[in-house]
């Protein structure tokens, strides 16, 4: 089974993916993580991605879908699509790529979070550059301040989590990605999770497991 996670930046896609990977044996396909790896490795693709990511803008579809197609050649089952698709065009290309591989998206999980909560979550986020797990300075503190519980690496703030970049990202989500909810909501396998200020990550996970 392949699962797609749909939701704004800060909606908890990465945290949910982490639980599904750890407990249910899924593998993650996070376009953001794949792009950050290219940037760290200073590849030509990474240099191209950085131009957009550093501004909070979406990387062009041709570049993104090249990275995705490459990844899918060897992995196309038990996947969690996290951060892809982000445009209708990406959704259609992804479907075509999967059909060629005799695979499909079985479930689309939409995490619906009010926009005022998103800003708070992103502004307090710290991530481990090594294992990619995210923390929050108030709601998900590491055991030792500033240090990853899993591997002891120093936590960092993502450059695009700065407030002016977050604004651009949320706008990109509203304009380009939110219309995907309408595209998927009447298809089989659509799961709508409502997450408000009081919902914990464990509750979201439990609801997702129930729905799956």
Range in contact with ligand ADP (rule: CB under 6 A) among 84-92, 95-103, 112-120, 142-150: 84-92
Confirm whether residue 13 is marked as ligand binding: yes
Contact 166, 56 (CB under 8 A): yes
The set of long-range contacts for 140-144, using a CB threshold of 8 Å and a minimum separation of 24, is 140/15, 140/201
User: Is 158 an annotated catalytic residue?
Assistant: yes
Total binding residues toward ligand ADP, as defined by CB under 6 A: 18
DSSP 8-state code for residue 133: -
Contact present, 127 and 134 (Cβ < 8 Å): yes
Given 121, 125, 132, 165, the catalytic residue: 125
Cα–Cα distance for residue pair 63/159, rounded to 1 Å: 21
Tokens describing residue 121 = 């979550």
Q: Please select the residue that binds ligand ADP; options are 2, 15, 28, 64, rule is CB under 6 A.
A: 64
CB of 123 to ligand ADP, least distance (A): 12
Q: Which residue from 6, 59, 80, 126 is in contact with ligand ADP, where contact means CB under 6 A?
A: 59
**Residue owning tokens 């065009």:** 89
**Residue (62 or 144) nearer to ligand ADP, CB:** 62
User: CB 31 → ligand ADP: shortest distance, Å?
Assistant: 3
Candidates 3, 16, 32, 81: give the one binding ligand ADP (CB under 6 A): 32
Closest CB 211 distance from ligand ADP, rounded Å: 21
Q: Does 35 bind ligand ADP (CB under 6 A)?
A: yes
Cα 206 from Cα 181, distance rounded (Å): 22
Is 14 marked as a binding-site residue? yes
Residue 70: in which H helix or E strand, if any? helix 61-74
Binding of residue 56 to ligand ADP (CB under 6 A): yes
Q: Two tokens at 203?
A: 């509750």
Helix (H) or strand (E) holding 193, with range, is: strand 190-194
Query: How far, in Å, CA of 84 to CA of 175, rounded?
Result: 15
Distance of CA 119 to the CA centre of its chain: 16
* Residue (35 or 208) nearer to ligand ADP, CB: 35
Note the residues at the interface with ligand ADP (CB under 6 A): 9-10, 31-32, 35, 52-53, 56-59, 64, 83-84, 86, 90, 160, 169
Q: Which residues are catalytic?
A: 13, 86, 125, 158, 169
């Amino acid at each position: 089974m392949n699962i797609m996670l749909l939701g704004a930046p800060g909606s908890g896609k990465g945290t949910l993916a982490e639980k599904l990977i750890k407990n249910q044996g899924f593998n993650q396909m996070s376009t953001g993580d794949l792009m950050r790896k290219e940037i760290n490795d200073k590849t030509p693709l990474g240099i191209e991605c950085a131009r957009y990511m550093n501004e909070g803008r979406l990387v062009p579809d041709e570049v993104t879908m090249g990275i995705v197609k490459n990844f899918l050649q060897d992995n196309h089952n038990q996947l969690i699509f996290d951060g892809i698709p982000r445009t209708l065009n990406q959704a259609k290309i992804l479907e075509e790529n999967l059909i060629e591989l005799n695979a499909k998206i079985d479930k689309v999980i939409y995490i619906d979070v009010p926009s005022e909560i998103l800003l708070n979550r992103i502004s307090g986020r710290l991530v481990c550059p090594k294992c990619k797990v995210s923390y929050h300075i108030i709601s998900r503190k590491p055991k030792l301040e500033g240090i990853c519980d899993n591997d002891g690496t120093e936590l960092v703030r993502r450059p695009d989590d700065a407030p002016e970049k977050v604004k651009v990202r949320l706008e990109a989500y509203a304009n380009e990605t939110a219309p995907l909810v309408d595209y998927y909501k009447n298809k089989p396998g659509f799961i709508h999770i409502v997450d408000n200020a009081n919902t914990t990550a464990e509750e979201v996970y439990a609801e997702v497991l129930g729905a799956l």
